[in-house]
Amino acid sequence: MIRVVLPTPLRTLARIDGEVTVEPAGPPTLAALIDALEAAYPALAGTLRDPTTRRRRPLLRFFACGEDLSHAPLEMPLPAAVADGREPLLVVGAIAGG
């Protein structure tokens, strides 16, 4: 099971509290993880990535094991510590403005 920490607005949308766990189908990649999150919490569909282009939403960032995975290919395997549940994947809303 992969542990995921979502930002408060997405937790509210999905009606969840705190950290969630999901089991992706196939190899543990960011794409498979997002698929599993959207399947488990349908309210999240389209919030983490654009449903047409399948790209990450621009104001969301993905972090794991102290690394920013936001610009990594979605098909790249997740770090082993995330894949085996020792560390969570953090989804963070970027702050923009001026």
Among 10, 68, 60, which residue's Cα sits nearest to residue 40?
10
pTM: 0.89
pLDDT at 77 over 90: yes
pLDDT above 90 (res 89): yes
C-beta separation of 62 from 90 below 8 A: yes
**Cβ contact 44:13 at 8 Å:** yes
The domains of the chain, with CATH numbers, are 2-93 (3.10.20.30)
Residue 19 and residue 36: Cα distance in Å, rounded?
A: 15
Residue-wise pLDDT tens digits, 4-47: 999 999 999 999 998 999 999 999 999 999 999 999 999 999 99
37 alpha carbon, distance to own chain's centre: 7
